[in-house]
Amino acid sequence: MEELKHIDEGFIQELNKIANNRIEYWDLRCGLLTGTILDFTDQKSKEISSYSVNESAIRTFLNGGWGFLVLKDLKRKTIKKGFNNAIKLARLTESMTKNKFKIKERDPLITDFKVSSKKKLEDISIEEKIKLVKDHEKTASEYSSDIKNTRTLYTDGQSNSLFLNTYGSLIHQEYSTLRIFNLVFAQKNGILQRAVNSVGGLGGFEIANTDKARNLSSKTAEEVVHLLDAKSPTGGKFTVIMDPKLTGNSHAIRA
């Protein structure tokens, strides 16, 4: 939260003073995002990287005209300069738009949203994360001689952000996410099949230590090997039960 400490009540008053009689509404989103990406294919590393991103986004509004500006900086001076530019954009847009309208004022929302982690990502070394991915790759590769290719992708991220606006809203969010993706290809008698599984969610490294996560690669390998012996369905019209994991059915229907 150190990078966001300067965005306090005094700074909000400064922004309101700049906006006074120039625009009707403004909001500011700013935050820090850090994370790790590990990508292995056939037990060899394709990417091992970490990132840290500081960003702020400013929206301004005047009588149907919007201004929008994104900054890669969280410094007070930079945000104030960007705020002035966003105001100019809103006023310019308002002068050109034919559809004039107002934004309905809302009650301010002041809240602090935080997801606690049993194992914080910053307490886990990069070596431990790499070992996790290597173990999944090894498990999948050695499951059967029919396994031809494997891929394991690990991503995690920590987000710390603030949202504030004209109406006095002040929302702080702090959470972390983790995801492991596993893809396995198998081939036998000229038949090529693939299986995909993933686990993930809000939280820390404890997500990678659940039974579902530990068994991810063996489950994927088992599924793809079974698919090699799957028989083609008989053509015709049938009533089917769709996999509840699907978020939509259009692709399945077209297939």
Question: Is 109:171 a contact under the CB 8 Å cutoff?
Answer: yes
Query: Into how many domains does the chain fold?
Result: 1
Residue pair 160/1 in contact by the 8 Å Cβ criterion = yes
Provide the CB-side half-sphere exposure for 33 (13 A, CA): 11
- What type of residue is 165? N
Range of the domain at 19: 2-232
The answer as to whether 195 is a domain residue is yes
What local confidence, expressed as pLDDT, does residue 245 receive?
67
* Burial (CB count <10 Å: 0-12, 13-18, 19+), residue 219: middle
The answer for residues whose C-beta is within 8 angstroms of residue 90's C-beta and 6 or more apart is: 23, 60, 61, 62, 65, 66, 67
Residue among 14, 9, 4 nearest 73 (CA): 4
Query: Cα-flanking dihedrals φ and ψ of residue 99, to 5°?
Result: -95, 95
Intervals of the chain under pLDDT 50: none
User: Residue 110: beta bridge partners?
Assistant: 170
Q: What is the DSSP letter of 122?
A: G
Q: What is the pTM of this model?
A: 0.84
Q: Is 252 inside a domain boundary?
A: no
Check residue 153 and give its pLDDT. Answer: 99
Residue 116 domain-assigned? yes
Q: Is residue 171 part of a domain?
A: yes
Between CA 75 and CA 3 the distance in angstroms is 9
Tell whether 165 is covered by a domain.
yes
In a domain, 199, yes or no: yes
Strands 65-71 and 44-62: antiparallel
CATH of the domain at 184: 3.30.2290.10
Q: Which of 170, 163, 160 is nearest to 120 (CA)?
A: 160
Q: What is the 3-state secondary structure (H, E, C) of 200-219?
A: EEECCHHHHHCHHHHCHHHH
pLDDT at 63: 97
* Dist CA 24 CA 109 (whole Å): 18
145: helix, coil or strand? coil
243 is a domain residue: no
Is 133 part of any domain?
Answer: yes
